[in-house]
Structure 1
Amino acid sequence: MQLQQLAYFLAVVETRQFTKAAEQMRVAQPSLSQQVRALERDVGAQLLHRVRGNVTLTEAGEALLPIARRIVGETENAYRAVRELDDLGRGRVRLGATPSLCTGVLPETLAAFRRSYPGIELFLHESGSRDLQTALSEGTLDLAMIIDSRERRPEPRIAARALFVEELVLISAKDAPPPVPGPRMSVAELAGCPLVMFRRGYDLRDTTVAACRSAGVEPTFAVEGGEMDAVLELVRAGVGVAVVPSTVVDDGFRITRFTAPGLTRTVRLASRRDVEPSRAVRALRDAVTGFLDEASRVRPLITVPVGKRA
């Protein structure tokens, strides 16, 4: 089994076609096909179902996939760490984050990082917390900003440190009637609100539904199935209301906060326990924590560092 064979195998899995995989790897298609067949001979099993116009994984291919990703990813990390020994003028960091964090705190954070380290390449992967932990475990991400969840068991290879506690608020269209008479409401009062709800598997959906049921009510959905941008625009259009992190809210919405103890979520920065981070990864890690510490002082109602809550 050779590293190049695993890289070719991953390219085929990603593109679903040998021709596209060969183009991506900048190699002749017959050569790539030969190397994948050699890999199958080495492992003693067929890895791919070859159907004209589409390629799918066999059971053996499914088993090899996370291992191949981890091997190729860690090899790339090793090469990158050696190249970065001179200085931080170059390097690469693969960062994962949930959609709400990509919309909220990350743009300003990454802009500040780019100003300090313009030579470091940044790759951003947007997904749910569970998928981000899997990607970290497989070695395809260096860092991930994830949402804490009691229901989600942590991956054994993943270490996650708390970054901040974020307040969740109810937003509605500015020209729509307010959901309640005053500036605050109880979680139980969500029972009478038509919610614009995120898709299944979305962290905010799970948090909102769990909070309602803990308060003894069942939420009502005006529409469901959206990502963050779609939810915000649907609320702006007056379709319904939504529970969102305060960091994604702009002046175009009416904000209603929840009565004590309110709704919050803990954001954590996750990384692999068994991989020594490169200098570029350490620089981004420090930049994220430093920026959020500063943001908490400027906007204390939006982000509150763990251990500093009133």
Structure 2
Amino acid sequence: MRILDMMTFVILARNRHFGRTAEEMNSTQPAISSRLAAMEHEFGCQLVHRGMRDFRLTAEGEKVLQVFQTVLGNIDALKTSLKSPASTSPAVVRIGAIDSVAATWMPDVIDSLHKTLPNLKIELTVEGTKLLVHGMNKGEFDLIFAIDPAIGDGFRSFVSCVWQMIWAGSPKIIDPDRVYSVDDLSRMPLVTFPKDTPPYRQIAPYFQDEQVLASKLTSSNSLFAMISLVIDGFGVAPIPSVIIRRELRMGLLHPIKVSKRFPPMTIIATYQSSTHQDIIRGVVEQARKSAAIFCASVDPATAWTV
């Protein structure tokens, strides 16, 4: 069994698409299909269910994937151990994160990795959850931190932290001593993420449960643009309280007392476990540590790890 064949199968299992696999491997779809057919002939069983819109591994394919991932990981580790520090070329880890993560504990992740893995090059992309998950599925990221996980063969996910969410508003338009009902909030201008985004999915049910909708809506795909809009009095918004600690201390924003609390926001990490396993595991472990350190440094009611 060639290393090329094992790499082909692992990448194919991750992409779930012959065309994307061929493009990633600088090859052709017939060549990828031929390698898969040769492996199935050698093992004497079908490894992949093929359908017009359905691509999934068979039970035998899952077993083969696990073994191939282990073998390729061991090969990567062997290559690393045989290289001297002076000759080691920088490895690249592509990380994607939503802006609330990028602004809190992500800098500690990057700083710690630069100290412990000086040859590691980090490419950080800050985007919304939808684009991060899409990029992960296309093989553009090795690790993402978002509201939704990416689902696929070769992906692993875990909860990295949880944000407390509060309704916040400017003293220009809210009374900090008043208790607001859902109906009260529905009649106020609302600042939120665009419709059909994961954060919006958390906001809409809050009102739909009470059979009311916000009367005025201003949307932005940037959390910090939303915060600026709320400070300027364009509306109220549900925001992770840990993100607006400074604005709350300065009195630019006030937490709104509400009769119905907003649910917390879970930040989910998804990482690629098919390639560069030792490096990715190290990055994931540091991310866990940095998230825990950050949560321990703030009010435990505002951010916590599971």
- Is the TM value for this pair above 0.5? yes
- Match status 1:296 vs 2:299: no
Show structure 2 runs of 5+ residues with no match.
Answer: 5-16, 27-71
**What secondary structure sits across from 1:139 in the alignment?**
coil
Q: In the aligned structure 2, how far is the partner of 1:95 from the partner of 1:179?
A: 41
Equivalent residues of 1:169, 1:243 under 8 A apart: yes
Identity %, equivalent residues: 17
Instruction: Show the 5 A alignment for 1:106-117.
Output: 106-117=106-117
**What secondary structure sits across from 2:292 in the alignment?**
helix
Report the Cα offset of residue 124 of structure 1.
1.3
**What secondary structure sits across from 2:177 in the alignment?**
coil
Q: Which amino acid aligns with 2:172?
A: A
Q: Residues 99-129 of structure 1: CA distance to partner in whole angstroms, max 9, x if unpaired?
A: 3322344234433433443432111123333
Alpha carbon RMSD of aligned pairs, Å?
3.4
**What secondary structure sits across from 2:264 in the alignment?**
strand
Q: In the aligned structure 2, how far is the partner of 1:134 from the partner of 1:148?
A: 11
The residue aligned with 1:190 is 185
The residue aligned with 1:203 is 198
The residue aligned with 2:164 is 167
Q: Residues 141-187 of structure 1: CA distance to partner in whole angstroms, max 9, x if unpaired?
A: 111112148xxx834553211122211122223x42435524x7555
* CA pair 162-259 structure 1, distance change in 2 beyond 3 A: farther
- Match status 1:67 vs 2:21: yes
**What secondary structure sits across from 2:94 in the alignment?**
strand
Report the Cα offset of residue 83 of structure 1.
6.0
The residue aligned with 2:279 is 280
Stretch of structure 1 that moved more, 96-105 or 202-211: 96-105
Give the TM-score normalised by structure 2.
0.64
Q: In the aligned structure 2, how far is the partner of 1:101 from the partner of 1:146?
A: 8
Q: Which amino acid aligns with 2:211?
A: G
* CA pair 216-133 structure 1, distance change in 2 beyond 3 A: same
Q: In the aligned structure 1, how far is the partner of 2:25 from the partner of 2:181?
A: 49
Q: In the aligned structure 2, how far is the partner of 1:269 from the partner of 1:197?
A: 23
- Match status 1:119 vs 2:119: yes
**What secondary structure sits across from 2:280 in the alignment?**
helix
**What secondary structure sits across from 2:165 in the alignment?**
strand
**What secondary structure sits across from 1:301 in the alignment?**
coil
Report the Cα offset of residue 210 of structure 1.
2.3
Show structure 1 runs of 5+ residues with no match.
Answer: 4-62
Q: In the aligned structure 2, how far is the partner of 1:264 from the partner of 1:157?
A: 28
* CA pair 132-288 structure 1, distance change in 2 beyond 3 A: same
* CA pair 216-64 structure 1, distance change in 2 beyond 3 A: same
The structure 2 residue matched to 1:231, chosen from 226, 232, 251, is 226
Q: In the aligned structure 1, how far is the partner of 2:270 from the partner of 2:20?
A: 19
The residue aligned with 1:20 is none
